[in-house]
Amino acid sequence: MSFLHSLIQLAAKLPVDLSQSKYNHSSKGKLIALARVPQALPSATALDLGCGDGWWSDQLKHLGFAVTAVDQEREYPNKDSAQRYKDMIAMNLNEPLPLPDASFNLVWCSEVIGFLKNYQQTIKEIRRVLEPGGTFIFTTPNSFSWLHYFFKMFGLSNQDWHHEKHINFLRLNDIKQLFPEAQVFGYFPYLIIKATIQSGVGLLSPTFVIIGKKQ
């Protein structure tokens, strides 16, 4: 193992919030997203697409949403989940979703599109199942923050420092093309203060927080 790969592994263990998987329940990016969940009116429905261990499905339930939690079927335990979420419905997220049109007030999709072979279709499906005026919330890694350029100086690519199953490496321009009507948030710095930002997101933030409404 090279010195820089060892350094990356060490950095992942430091108490610095770069949206590592160990901060899945507490990263500033996720907290920014949760703070922008709209108030749940009576009978409000939410889709948690890629629910993982179900933590964020439970948070949405606490906010008053009736949550449909879906994810790919997989073996447990795995790197992201110790066990299958009790309310999970297995679906192939790369295929059309077997869900009715305009059936959700909110779609939450956190750290998912970077792993999907057909993520553009998945985004179209999310728009389809979201009711007019409904809110979509995505989070996904910023693959071209300053960290990318730092590691690139040492010959490392995005594949070297992202999750091993990550296949889509997105920059701010990609996000703006995918979600032209959305607001994009991030955070900087990564320890103690962790301020929410919109300016400089493409360079500074380790993750994109995407908030929009279906027109």
CA angle 79, 205, 69 (to 5 degrees): 40
Q: Is 131 helix (H, G, I), strand (E, B) or coil?
A: strand
Domains and their CATH numbers in the chain: 3-213 (3.40.50.150)
**How buried is residue 191: exposed, middle or buried, by Cβ count under 10 Å (0-12/13-18/19+)?**
exposed
Query: If pLDDT is split at 50, 70 and 90, which confidence band does 65 have?
Result: very high
**Are 126 and 49 a contacting pair, CB within 8 Å?**
yes
Q: How do strand 195-197 and strand 207-213 relate by DSSP bridges?
A: unpaired
Look at phi and psi of residue 2 and say left if phi exceeds 0, alpha if psi is from -120 to 50, else beta: beta
The model scores a pTM over 0.95: no
| Model pLDDT for residues 75-129, shown as the tens digit of each residue | 888 877 888 999 999 999 999 999 999 999 999 999 999 999 999 999 999 999 9
Interval 199-214: pLDDT, tens: 999 999 999 999 999 9
Residues 8-18 have a mean pLDDT of 73
| 158-195: pLDDT as tens digits | 887 788 889 999 999 999 999 999 999 999 999 999 99
Between CA 146 and CA 123 the distance in angstroms is 27
Tokens of 49: 């697409």
Is the per-residue pLDDT at 62 higher than 90?
yes
